[in-house]
Structures are given as structure tokens and as C-alpha cells.
Amino acid sequence: MQRDSRISMICVGDELLDGSIRDLNMRTLGSVLVDHGLKLDSSKVIRDGVDLISEALEKAVGIVVVSGGLGPTQDDVTRDGAAAWAGVQLAEDRESLETLRRRFEERNYPFTDNNRRQAFFPVGADILPNPRGSAPGFKLKVAGTTAYFFPGVPSEFQAFCETHLAPELAQGTGVRTRLYFHGLGESQLETRLDGIEALAKELGSRVGYRADYPEIEVKLAADSDEALESAVAFVESKIGLYAIGRDDEDISTRVGRLLMEQGATVTTAESCTAGGIAAKITDISGSSSWFEQGFVTYSNAAKHALIGVSNQTLERYGAVSAQVVTQMAAGARERAGATHALAVSGIAGPGGGTAEKPVGTVHFGLASPEGVYHQLIHFRVRTRERIRAGTVYSALAMLLWRLDGQSEHPNVRGPFAVEDVNTPEGITIETDA
Amino acid sequence: MQRDSRISMICVGDELLDGSIRDLNMRTLGSVLVDHGLKLDSSKVIRDGVDLISEALEKAVGIVVVSGGLGPTQDDVTRDGAAAWAGVQLAEDRESLETLRRRFEERNYPFTDNNRRQAFFPVGADILPNPRGSAPGFKLKVAGTTAYFFPGVPSEFQAFCETHLAPELAQGTGVRTRLYFHGLGESQLETRLDGIEALAKELGSRVGYRADYPEIEVKLAADSDEALESAVAFVESKIGLYAIGRDDEDISTRVGRLLMEQGATVTTAESCTAGGIAAKITDISGSSSWFEQGFVTYSNAAKHALIGVSNQTLERYGAVSAQVVTQMAAGARERAGATHALAVSGIAGPGGGTAEKPVGTVHFGLASPEGVYHQLIHFRVRTRERIRAGTVYSALAMLLWRLDGQSEHPNVRGPFAVEDVNTPEGITIETDA
């Protein structure tokens, strides 16, 4: 396959256009192509219909991957559309028929005439066995166009891409990486990275962004490792402090790796996130090695009873304060006997805001062997959901900063003794603008 | 708008074709149209590019909704493509500029030239204010085609569809409702609802499904309240037991309302979900009235230390057992002094499965004034993430069932005294295609 040959996709199915299900296959194909240094030029979603399918195929140039419409039901007419496009008949394939029959017998499913249809293919098609299911796919060449027909079931579609498409794709691909950040908005990020486009051009590398609150992803691609790493170095010199992960190492994985390496453990004391931080820390398998327990202390009574926050402090400063959140961290660390403890207390809204503590005000505490750290963040994001999601990420990012042993932070203060904590200024994180 | 006018969609963005993100907007638009008795004819996904966008617009007929490419970054060129299509210039809109500026100032957020680009629109366009964010959308008529340009951020796109598109859609809308269910697979659901299509036709109502794991949504629309409610009654008679919400009352809101009405409170003791249930219960404002605290007991030591599970029981039956999970619930209920306590313990994987306790095995405990309830569910879903998400929903659904005072449940057993709990059979929830 030429690197410059055009590649497009056709997704077939009423259910995709009626909002019944979400299409997952375009993303799968896109990733497979990117991994091979290729690009999906465009994708089209059409309804089940012989004419619609053959017309869409007429318009395709180069390589086209067709997803869906190969099932056993009457409205699965992709094979008929393919035959119409190629101007050939459908013919039954004995071998496929036997395989299908056997598969159904093994499962004691009734083998209906509908199922039998799945053994019919346009004359001249290469039949592609299904690595994950029963119905085969096929490949058909007409004039300058090569069309691959894969089942729409996401797990089967992916298996077909890997088994029957990827091996035929170009190998020469170049290198790429994805860097994940948290704590700045998309346009803020672009401003800080001003000049990277120029650098990228100079290096022959490529840059892309993706804002997926509360994460921002920076995608870098280049033709050599050197070019790629210089681009990475540039990005990290500008916004490294906001880094939360790279490639397959997301924030939870990175937190876990560092805790493992340091033989450390962590516990949590959560008010406004009410368990979200603990759930995030444990969203990778094996997290029991660094996380044993966490405290969800939503009420003041619970903050006092479970992790020993002083009622006097609660009364004097309020639950959403530097003093309380650092006592929460210190208390949780002691109760759990963990190396580090993360605590958050904030106003997630929509109710509960006041003039001096508006919705989005969140205090963060981190208790570590050397003392407690604190930061205050004002989340200027639209919804309770986003304030809580941002708080989870900022808490994990605060722990990452400590585990990385970074010395300078624009917002985190400490280490202090708990009794020395006072009320500070905070920064604002806005990710919705 | 005529009911027979063609409706298509154009999604703009390299990130969609490179597999960086999943498109959510086609599904949103499809649902909105179905709700109004209309149909999305086709959808196209193209890369960021002025020519690509204007060409796609050339080919559009009737109504076309364009998603994405209105952001502040350099590769957001949808507005330029629209202007090229209409053969007009871009002009700055004072009012939009001021609104944007004000919004940024209010948030002490730097207003860059990039952001300023969002105040430019093709001459002659109707500017559509953003109900959910900063950047406006717009509407443009060229010859027989009306094009709506909405931001690609899913929450904003949805708000635009509801605020700026739906009101202009065909009159034949009538009444509609959405029912949310959890605990059966899509095919299970269709089997149980066998006959609804016929009933719907007879009533002149419309039915649609939407699988959004761990929820299944059944959408009903009709021309009269009577027709709608008979359809609802039919659905509830078949799968009412799996109901977790309706319209704006999602599972957390419904749990909260019932607890409030009953003057009851709830606490949580979580192993495999590690805080996810507590976070879900509190994802609505005001939840402090029925939720005070929760326990994340990931390790056996924590299960014993925090909520008094007996070490003997842990040793004898293992952490993932009916005996342990009901002790967790009873212990948490007592420690927290709550009316009800939900507990879960399971194997979320990918590691940790065994022959008799494979990945996906989850035990649920509910402690209430009259005793403890138990259920065992085998999740046959693909990922750790899905097992944990399903567990959170099943736990809340179990509490809902108790709060609704329902007497018959296909899977939940009890009330028992904790010491009478034994090891039962479970059901399987299979939600992946």
C-alpha cells in the first residue's frame, strides 16, 4: 500500500444515525492507521440500504473500510450493496457455510436461513475468516478501489483490522508520543507552547492537542527519535510542572509506579469528592500494593469521628479551609498508617457557595513524613461534576509532584507542621473557556 | 422545517479520524431528531481544513448540522470553511467579543488573540449564543441549504441542539419520556419487551433504545399523554424491576429523594469500587442530608479495623464472599449510625480471578433496620472499568429496590441476621455486545 493512497471509511447502520448506539469503530480504525503512520482521510455513516451502500462505494477512492451490515437480519444488506457496486452476483461459500453450521451446533443455537445468508459473498471476493466471531468478512477490488468489509461488532471489527488490515499496511511509520497535562486551559496551553509549531516544522515533527477535561493531551510525532525527544524536551520545559502522564502511563499508573518504587503507600480523606480520589487511585489492577483504605468524611461529625479533626478548628475556620484539610490529611495518615495522605475539602456546588468561599473553592492537603502541604484552587468550571473531576486530578497531581521530589511549585506550600498552617492565596484553574 | 427535508451532519476534526477521541455528537443529534419524529440521513467526518469543510458544505442538501472546529486553536477553521462556502468574509462581532472578554475577566483568565478569533463570524450569519460555554455558534443559509455550526464539546453541542435546533424542528413532536434501566443486556431487554413495537404502532407512539453501559435507556414518544402512559405502563410491567430513573431523575437523584422522603440516611463500605459508590451517591447537590460518611476498605486489614469484619470470616470465606460483604454492611451501618449501609466486594480484574471466583464476581450487601440483604452478580463485561461502573449501579439499584419497598427480586435475598448468611447462586449481567 502506498503511503499516499487515500483511506476512507463507511459505517453502515440505522442504529448509528438514530442515536441507539455509539460508533466505536471509526476510532479503532483511526488508531490502527496512525500506529502505521497512515491517516484516515474521512468517514461516512449511512443507513442500511443496498443503493446507499453501492453509491457510497462508487464515491470511494483508494482504500475503503466498510463497517457493519454483515449480520444475519433482513436489514443487513452490506453484502448486497457490495455486489451491486461490483456488478456481480452473491454466491454461497461451502466452507464458510460449514464453519458457521459447526459453530452453531457447538453452541446448540438453531441455524436459521438468516444465518445462512452470512455464507454468501459477492463473486470474486476474498473471504476473510472472523478471528473473534462467526460471520466472515471479505475484500473486494473494483477498478482502483480496494474495499474491506468487516462486521460492525466493535470487538470483531477491531480483530479484523488487526488481522486482515494492519499486515497489509505500510511499515515505515516514524515515532510518536502522547503527553498528558492537567491544570491549564487549552488556549493557555497554546500560549505557553508558543513557538512549538515553528520548532516542530524545523525538526520535521508534528504537534496536536486534545482537550479532554480534566486532561489536556499533547500529541507529538516525528520521523526520528531525536526529533521527537527534542520536541518533548521543549514541551516539558514549558509546562512540565503540569505533566500527569505519558503514552500508556496515565495519572493513576504513574502514581502507582512511583509509590511502588519508593515502597510507599497512600490513603485518602475526602469531603467534596466523596470517594472519587480513592476510586481513581485504584482504577488500575494491583493498586492494593499501595492503597489499603480511604475515608469519605462528608460531614463535620465524620471529619471529627473518623480522622480526628478538631471541632474547634471546624468551628473557627469552617470545613472548607487550609486548617481543616491539613488536619484531615494528617489524621488520615495516622489512622491508616500510610506514608502519604491526600485530603480535599471544597464547595462543589451548585449550592453552598458564599461570597468569600464561592462554588469551586477547593482546599487540598497532603500529609507526608516531612510534614503537611497545602494548596487552594478556585475551579472556574461549569458543573459540580467538573469541579469534582478536576479536584480528583489536582489531588493526584499534587501527590505526583511530591513523589517526583519537585522543589518549586507555583501553588503548593509546605512542608509545615499542622499547627503552622494558615490561610493562603490560591490559584484559579479554568478549563471551560 | 418540513418533516421530509433531508438532514445530514458534518463532524470536523483530525482528532476524530486519528482515534484520539470518540465522536459523541452524532449520537446526540440522532437522539434529538428521533425525539422529534425526524431522522438523520447521513453523517460525514472530515479533517480540519478550510477547503474540506467548504466542499462538504457544497454537497449538503436541506439541513446540515456541523460539529466542531470552532475552538480557539489554530487548527479550528470551521468558521473559515463556512465563509468560503458562503463566499463571504469573516467579520468580528462586537457583542460576542465583549461577552467573551467579560467572561474571561470574571475568571481572571488571560484573553488571548486565539480566544478573540471566536468572536469572528461569516458576514450574514445568525449568531447563536452558547448556553453552556463561551464560544457562540452560528446559522447560515446558502441557496436551499441551512447549516447550523455548533461547538464540538459534547456538553455544548447537546445544549446547542436543544436550545437552537430542537425548537425549529418539525411540529409533530407530541410528548416523550426517557426511562432508565440497569441490570439486563440489550438483547435481554428486547426479548422482554417483545410486542412493544406492535403496541407502539397501535398507540401511534414511538419507541427507541439507547445502550449506554451501565444504563439502558428506553425512549418513548407519542402524540398524546394517554398513548405515552400506556406505553410506559407496558414497559414497567415488563422490566419495572430494573428501573433506575426517569427523565431528569437519574439514579442518584432518585436514591436521594427516597431517602429524604423516608428521613433515612445511607453509608457505604467499598472494596472493589473503592469509593465509587459514595461518589455516585453524592454527585448531586444537597446529598449531605442523607450521606455523612463512607468507608473505603480495600485490604482485609482495613475491613477488620474500620468496620469490624471478623478475621475468622475473612480467612474462612475470603474477602469476596456473601459472609464478608454482609458483615461489611452491618459493620459500616453500626459505625456510621446510618439507616442503611451498602457494601461491595468483588474481583474487578484484570488480575486476581480464580476458577470458582473469576474476574467479574461481585458480592453485594445491604444492611437495613430489618436485617441484611445479599446478592451475587457475575459481570460478563470487558474491562475493569466496566465491572466497577456496573457494580456502582447495581449497588444503588439494590438500595432503590429496598427504598421502594418491593417484595420480589429475582436475585436479592434477605433480610437475614448476619450470622445466617450463606453462599448463594448469583445471576449474570452481560452487557457487552
pLDDT at B430: 67
User: Is the CB of residue A432 less than 8 Å from the CB of residue A383?
Assistant: no
Domain identity same for B74 and B216: no
pLDDT at A246: 92
pLDDT at A261: 96
B430 domain-assigned? no
Rounded mean pLDDT of A103-111?
77
Domain identity same for A255 and A241: no
pLDDT at A206: 75
User: C-alpha grid cell for residue B342?
Assistant: 451498602
Rounded mean pLDDT of B342-359?
93
Report the Cα B260 to chain-centroid distance in Å: 24
User: Is the CB of residue B189 less than 8 Å from the CB of residue B157?
Assistant: no
**Chain A CB contacts of B391 below 8 Å:** none
How many Å apart are CA B258 and CA A36, to the nearest integer? 54
**Of B200, B218, B246, the domain-final residue:** B246
The string of pLDDT tens digits covering residues A223-247 is: 888 989 999 999 998 888 888 999 8
- Residue window 371-390, chain A: list those with CB within 8 Å of chain B: 380, 382-385, 388
A1 domain-assigned? no
Counted domains in chain B: 3
Q: Does A193 touch chain B (CB under 8 A)?
A: no
A169, pLDDT greater than 90: no
How many Å apart are CA A366 and CA A373, to the nearest integer? 5
Domain identity same for A285 and A331: yes
A4, pLDDT greater than 60: no
Q: Tell me A125's DSSP state.
A: P
DSSP string, A197-258: HHHHHHHTEEEEEEEETTEEEEEEEESSHHHHHHHHHHHHHHHGGGEEEETTB-HHHHHHHH
B189 domain-assigned? yes
Q: Does B113 touch chain A (CB under 8 A)?
A: no
pLDDT band at B90 (very low <50, low <70, confident <90, very high): very high
Rounded mean pLDDT of A401-415?
86
DSSP string, B168-213: GS-STT-EEEEEEE-SS-HHHHHHHTTTHHHHHHHHT-EEEEEEET
Residue indicated by cell numbers 440483604:
B373
Domain identity same for A203 and A325: no
Domain identity same for B256 and B379: yes
Cβ-proximal residues to B43 (8 Å cutoff; 6+ apart), any chain: A16, A17, A44, A45, B8, B9, B10, B11, B26
Burial level of A420, CB count in 10 A (0-12/13-18/19+)? exposed
How many Å apart are CA B409 and CA B238, to the nearest integer? 13
Interface mutation target, options B43, B102, B293, B392, chain A, most CBs of A under 10 Å: B293
pLDDT band at B2 (very low <50, low <70, confident <90, very high): very low
The partner residue sitting opposite B40, judged by closest CB among A17, A273, A428, is: A17
How many Å apart are CA B114 and CA B150, to the nearest integer? 18
Domain identity same for B180 and B163: no
The string of pLDDT tens digits covering residues B161-203 is: 989 998 887 655 578 888 999 987 766 777 788 888 788 778 7
How many Å apart are CA B203 and CA B222, to the nearest integer? 8
Residue indicated by cell numbers 447560515:
B140
The string of pLDDT tens digits covering residues B242-295 is: 889 998 899 999 999 999 999 999 999 999 999 999 999 999 999 999 999 999
pLDDT at B71: 87
Q: Which H or E run includes B80?
A: helix B78-86
Helix (H, G, I), strand (E, B) or coil at A269: strand
Domain identity same for B150 and B294: no
Mean pLDDT of chain A: 89
The string of pLDDT tens digits covering residues A308-330 is: 999 999 999 999 999 999 999 99
Cβ <8 Å between A288 and B306: no
Burial level of B311, CB count in 10 A (0-12/13-18/19+)? exposed
Rounded mean pLDDT of A72-85?
91
The string of pLDDT tens digits covering residues B376-411 is: 999 988 789 999 999 999 999 999 999 998 668 888
B145 domain-assigned? yes
Helix (H, G, I), strand (E, B) or coil at A274: coil
Mean pLDDT of chain B: 90
User: C-alpha grid cell for residue A207?
Assistant: 504537534
What CATH number does residue B260 fall under?
3.90.950.20
Question: In chain B, how many H helices and how many E strands?
Answer: 16, 19
Q: Does B18 touch chain A (CB under 8 A)?
A: yes
**Chain B CB contacts of A298 below 8 Å:** 278, 282, 287-288, 291-294
Domain identity same for B257 and B242: no
DSSP string, A299-340: SHHHHHHHH---HHHHHHH-SSSHHHHHHHHHHHHHHHT-SE
How many Å apart are CA B133 and CA A187, to the nearest integer? 14
How many Å apart are CA A14 and CA B367, to the nearest integer? 45
Q: Does A292 touch chain B (CB under 8 A)?
A: yes
The interface predicted TM-score of the complex, written ipTM, equals 0.77
The partner residue sitting opposite A294, judged by closest CB among B18, B284, B296, is: B296
How many Å apart are CA B153 and CA B67, to the nearest integer? 9
Cβ <8 Å between A18 and B28: no
Peptide bond into B350 cis (omega under 30): yes
pLDDT at A77: 94
User: Is the CB of residue A121 less than 8 Å from the CB of residue A138?
Assistant: yes
Q: Nearest-CA distance from B117 to chain A in Å?
A: 11
How many Å apart are CA A124 and CA B275, to the nearest integer? 56
A431 domain-assigned? no
**Chain A CB contacts of B104 below 8 Å:** 433
pLDDT at A425: 77
What CATH number does residue A241 fall under?
3.30.70.2860
Domain identity same for B60 and B153: yes
CA distances from B305 to A299, A337, A367, B204 (A): 21, 12, 21, 60
Closest chain B residue to A152, measured at CA: B433
A385 domain-assigned? yes
- Residue window 148-167, chain A: list those with CB within 8 Å of chain B: 153-155
Q: Does B116 touch chain A (CB under 8 A)?
A: no
Cβ <8 Å between B274 and A277: no
How many Å apart are CA A158 and CA A26, to the nearest integer? 10
pLDDT band at A162 (very low <50, low <70, confident <90, very high): confident
Q: Does A252 touch chain B (CB under 8 A)?
A: no
pLDDT at B1: 39
pLDDT at A1: 39
With pLDDT > 90 as the criterion, what percentage of chain B qualifies?
Answer: 62
The partner residue sitting opposite A380, judged by closest CB among B22, B107, B273, is: B107
Rounded mean pLDDT of A197-222?
79
The string of pLDDT tens digits covering residues A177-200 is: 889 999 887 667 778 888 887 887
B426 domain-assigned? no
pLDDT at A207: 79
Rounded mean pLDDT of B95-114?
85
Q: Nearest-CA distance from B363 to chain A in Å?
A: 18
Cβ <8 Å between B292 and A277: no
pLDDT at B3: 40
For residue A39, which of A206, A163, A211, A153 has the smallest C-alpha distance? A206
Rounded mean pLDDT of A377-394?
92
For residue A396, which of A323, A316, A290, A317 has the smallest C-alpha distance? A290
Cβ-proximal residues to B396 (8 Å cutoff; 6+ apart), any chain: B244, B251, B252, B255, B277, B280, B281, B342
Residue indicated by cell numbers 463532524:
B11
The string of pLDDT tens digits covering residues B130-149 is: 988 778 999 999 988 999 99
User: Is the CB of residue A272 less than 8 Å from the CB of residue A348?
Assistant: yes
pLDDT at B170: 62
For residue B79, which of B66, B89, B70 has the smallest C-alpha distance? B70
Quote the domain boundaries for residue B96.
Answer: 7-170
User: Long-range pairs for B304-311 at CB < 8 Å and ≥24 separation?
Assistant: B305/A293, B306/A293, B306/B269, B306/B335, B307/B269, B307/B331, B307/B332, B307/B335, B308/B334, B308/B335
> Cβ atoms within 10 A of the Cβ of B188, count?
16
Rounded mean pLDDT of B2-13?
80
Domain identity same for B90 and B201: no
The partner residue sitting opposite B20, judged by closest CB among A219, A274, A282, is: A219
Reading phi first (left if > 0) and then psi (alpha if -120 to 50, else beta), residue B52 is in: alpha
With pLDDT > 70 as the criterion, what percentage of chain A qualifies?
Answer: 95
A74 domain-assigned? yes
Domain identity same for B238 and B386: no
Report the Cα A254 to chain-centroid distance in Å: 15
**Of B142, B170, B198, the domain-final residue:** B170
Domain identity same for A158 and A232: no
Q: Nearest-CA distance from A81 to chain B in Å?
A: 16
**Of A246, A278, A293, the domain-final residue:** A246
Rounded mean pLDDT of A56-69?
94
pLDDT at A433: 40
**Cα torsion angle, B197, B202, B203, B204, sign:** positive
Q: Does B337 touch chain A (CB under 8 A)?
A: no
pLDDT at B401: 93
Model-level pTM? 0.78
User: C-alpha grid cell for residue A390?
Assistant: 478536576
Helix (H, G, I), strand (E, B) or coil at A398: helix
How many Å apart are CA B93 and CA A17, to the nearest integer? 34
What CATH number does residue A69 fall under?
3.40.980.10
pLDDT band at A359 (very low <50, low <70, confident <90, very high): very high
The partner residue sitting opposite A30, judged by closest CB among B19, B30, B268, is: B19
User: Is the CB of residue A151 less than 8 Å from the CB of residue A70?
Assistant: yes
Closest chain B residue to A209, measured at CA: B15
